[in-house]
């Protein structure tokens, strides 16, 4: 599998986890979370296509 871009801003994620949750962030979390986001986006894209749209909307992310 080819290396993919990280979609998550690591500094923002780390700041959120530290300041809001009191947790530290392992180095690979942004990459793993990016994979989760890609899967969610893929599902949303399919919903938009099913509805004959080329625009992904917020409702495409709901069940």
What's the pLDDT at 49? 98
pLDDT tens-digit map of 3-39: 789 999 999 999 999 999 999 999 999 999 999 999 9
What's the pLDDT at 3? 73
Does any domain span residue 1? no
Q: How many domains does the chain have?
A: 1
What's the pLDDT at 26? 97
The pTM score is: 0.85
Does any domain span residue 33? yes
User: Residue 47 sits in which domain range?
Assistant: 10-61
What's the pLDDT at 2? 57
- 3-state secondary structure labels for all residues of the chain: CCCCCCCCCHHHHHHHHHHHHCCCCCCCHHHHHHHHHHHHHHHHHHHHHHCCCCCCCHHHHCC
What's the pLDDT at 6? 94
Element containing residue 16 per DSSP (H, E) = helix 10-21
């Amino acid at each position: 599998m080819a290396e993919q871009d990280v979609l998550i801003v690591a500094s923002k994620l780390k700041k959120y986890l530290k300041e809001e949750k009191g947790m530290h962030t392992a180095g690979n979390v942004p990459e793993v979370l990016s994979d989760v986001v890609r899967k969610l986006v893929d599902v949303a894209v399919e919903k938009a296509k099913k509805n004959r749209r080329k625009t992904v909307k917020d409702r495409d992310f709901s069940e």
